[in-house]
Structure 1
C-alpha cells in the first residue's frame, strides 16, 4: 500500500471545491495514459467489490483539514460550564463597580463646596471604575459561549495540530477563551456571487428567446491572518501498481519538467476551476499498517458512503449530506437519491478488528449509466486519526 499527497496551485477563480468522488473520476480518467481500458475496468470493478483498497480525500487548503465543529463543541461542553461560573464572578464584580460609581455620584450631588473642590480626584476614581468595568466586559465576551461558538463556526478548515490543540484546551478542564481560539491557524471559506446570463436565443438559434440570469459562486479561502489560500492538496491511499498508483507515478515524473494543468469542476471552458499539479509526495504509512481499535477517533476527509455495520453511530458525530447530482438509479420511473457522510465528521468503529478500508464502500451505478459497464459511485473516503482522550 502507498499514500500520496497531491499538491495543486489554483489558477483563476474557483466555483467549487472538488470532492473525493470527482477526484476519483479525474484519476481514473488520467489512468488511460498508462493503463488499458480492460485494466481500468477491472480496477474500478475491484474497488466496488472491495478487492482493491482505495481511499481518496476531498481537495483541501494545503496543510488544513475540515473542522469537526459539532465534535469540538461537544468536547467544550464541560469547559463552557466553567466559563459560565467565571462569567458570573465577573458580572458580580461589575455590579459592585456600578454601585460604587452610583454612590460617588450621589455623594457629589449631596456634598458641599469642599467636596466639590476634590473634583479632579473624583474624576480619576470614576475613570478607574469605568476602565475596570470595561475590562471585565472584555473578559466576559472572551468567555461567552455564543462568541466561542461563533469562533468555531468561522473555522471551515483547521490545521491538524491546531485541532488537537483545541481538544487539549477542552481536556484540561479550565476556562477557554475566544482569544485562545483565534490563535489557532484556520481558514474561512467565503462565497462571492457574480451574475451570469445564459444566451438561449444564440444557443437555440431562435430570436426572441429571453436570456436567463443566474448566479455563479466564486470561492475564496482566507486564513486568520487575512491571507488568501491559493495552494491545495488531496490524499490518495492505494495499492502499489494499481491504475491510480501508476497514474500518479507518471504525473510525478512529468511534473519535474512541467507542472500539469487540470480542470476539476464545471465552467472549465470559461477559465474556472483550473489548477496546476506542482508536487506529489509519498507519505508515511504507519497509521494504515494497523487495524482500527475501539478507542480510536477518526476524522473523515472526503465523501463517505458508509458500511454502517462497521461504524459506532451512537458514539460518532456524523454530518449527513444528500447528493444534489442526478439520481444514481431510476427504478419504476422513480429517481433515487443518495446520502453521504460529509468531510469533518467524526467516526468511531464498532469492532477493533475493522480494517480502515472497510469503513466505506462504493456502489454500482451502471443502471443509470448503461454505456459504462463498471460505472460506480465512489464512497471510500480518506481518514486521519485524532489523538484525543
Structure 2
C-alpha cells in the first residue's frame, strides 16, 4: 500500500467540514468531467468491488487528527467510577489535536487538558437578505430574510484562548500499488497542479464550501498492532466490535442527478464517525462501500490511522 497526504485550502466561509464520503463524490464528479461517464463508472466499480483498494479521510485541520473522545471518556469512567465533568469539558472543547500528540493521550489520558494548540468547531446562524425588488425589477417588494449555517473552525493556541482561523486542511489517502492505483493518484496530482477548486457542500453559488487542491505528498506511517484511529465516515465490514470504541453518526444521504438536482428519495445512513478507535486484524476488509443505486455508491472505506492502545 501507498500512503499520501492531500493538502486543500478553503476559499471562503463553510457550512460544515466535508466528510470522506462527500470528498469522494466530488473527486469522482471531477474525474468524470475529465474522462467521461464510462471511465468514471469503471473506476467507481473497481473501488466498490475492492479490485482497487482506496481509503480516504475526511478533511482534517492541517497538522491535526480527531480526538478519540469515546475512548477517553470510557477510560476516565473505568478509573474513577463516574464521569469527571471537568475532564469531559476538556474533551468536548478539543475536536482535533496535533497529530504528534495522539499517541501521548492514548498512553496518558490525563494529559488531554494540557494539549495546545487544539481545534474547536462551532456553528452559528448568519442572516441573509434576498433583494426580490432587484431580481424582478419591482420596486417596493420586501426583502426575503433567511438564515445560513456557518461553521467556525479555529486553532486555540494557548490557555488565554487566543485563536486563529483554520484555512488549510489535510486529507489522508491509502491506495494499493497497481497500475489503476498509480493512474488514480496521477490524476489527483494533476488536479493539484491545476489548483482545481472542489465544491464540497451547499451554497457554492454564494461562495461557500469551496476548497482548492494544493499539493499531494507521499508519506510513511508506523506499523499497526491492530488498532486504528478512524479518520472518516466508516462503514464496517470486518472489525472486532468488542475491542473497538465507536462513535456513531447518522445522516441523510440523497442521490444527486445533474439534470434534476437532489432527489426526494433520501436514505438515512449510520456510520462510525471519525475519532473512533477501530480494532481489526485485516484492514483491507475492515470497511466497505454500499451501492445505493445503479452506478452510484456510498463510500464508506474511511482511512484508518495506525495507533498503539494500552
Corresponding residue to 1:358 among 275, 285, 302: 285
TM-score by length of 2: 0.82
**In structure 2, the residue corresponding to 1:365 is in which secondary structure?**
strand
Pairwise CA distance, 1:49: 2.1
The secondary structure found in structure 2 opposite 1:360 is coil
With over 3 angstroms needed to count, the CA separation of the structure-2 counterparts of 1:264 and 1:320, relative to structure 1, is same
Task: Give the superposition deviation at 1:255.
Answer: 4.3
For residues 201-257 of structure 1, give each alpha carbon's deviation from its aligned partner in whole angstroms, at most 9, with x where no partner exists.
Answer: 99999999987643212222222212221110111212346667535424535645x
Is 1:162 the counterpart of 2:101 in the alignment? Answer: yes
Per-residue CA deviations over 1:19-71 (Å, capped at 9, x if unaligned) read 11111112222223664533321221122222221111101101111212111
Q: Which residue of 2 aligns with 1:282?
A: 218
For residues 139 and 236 of structure 2, the distance between their equivalents in structure 1, rounded to whole angstroms, comes to 50
Q: How far apart, CA to CA, are the structure 2 residues paired with 1:316 and 1:18?
A: 24
The RMSD of aligned alpha carbons is 3.3
- CA offset digits 1:153-207 (Å, max 9, x no partner): 100111232222122224xxxxx47xx6233431111222101356789999999
2:234 is the alignment partner of 1:304: yes
Where do residues 96-175 of structure 1 align in structure 2 (5 Å cutoff)?
145-170=84-109
8 Å contact kept, 1:9–1:276: yes
> What secondary structure, in the 3-state scheme, does the structure 1 residue paired with 2:252 have?
coil
How do 1:19-38 and structure 2 match up within 5 A? 19-32=19-32, 35-38=35-38
Highest CA radius of gyration, 1 or 2? Answer: 1
2:278 alignment counterpart:
347
SS at match of 1:227: strand
Q: CA deviation at 1:345?
A: 1.3
Match of 1:323 among 242, 246, 251: 251
Q: Determine the structure 1 residue equivalent to 2:5.
A: 5
Q: Is the 8 A contact 1:191 1:218 kept in 2?
A: yes
> Could you say which residue in structure 2 is the equivalent of 1:221?
153
Per-residue CA deviation, residues 242-285 of structure 1 (Å, 9 max, x unaligned), is 667535424535645x5333322211111111222221111226
Choose from 175, 183, 199 the match for 1:238. 175
What do the CA deviations read for 1:87-128 (whole angstroms, capped 9, x no partner)? xxxxxxxxxxxxxxxxxxxxxxxxxxxxxxxxxxxxxxxxxx
Unpaired segments of 5 or more residues in structure 1? 85-143, 171-175, 367-372
Map 1:192-231; keep pairs closer than 5 Å.
192-197=124-129, 213-225=145-157, 226-231=163-168
* Closer, same or farther: CA 16–242 of 1 in aligned 2, 3 Å: farther
| Equivalent-residue separation in structure 2 for 1:245 and 1:26 (angstroms) | 19
CA contact (8 A) 1:10 1:231 kept: yes
Is 1:374 the equivalent of 2:302?
no
Q: Deviations over 1:136-157 (max 9, x none)?
A: xxxxxxxx93222101110011
| Closer/same/farther in 2, CA of residues 323 and 210 from structure 1, 3 Å limit | farther
SS of equivalent to 1:324: strand
| Alignment coverage as a number of residue pairs | 298
Structure holding more helix per residue: 1
Give the C-alpha shift of residue 388 in structure 1.
Answer: 1.8
Q: How far apart are the structure 2 equivalents of 1:200 and 1:317?
A: 51
Is residue 308 of structure 2 the alignment partner of residue 383 of structure 1? no
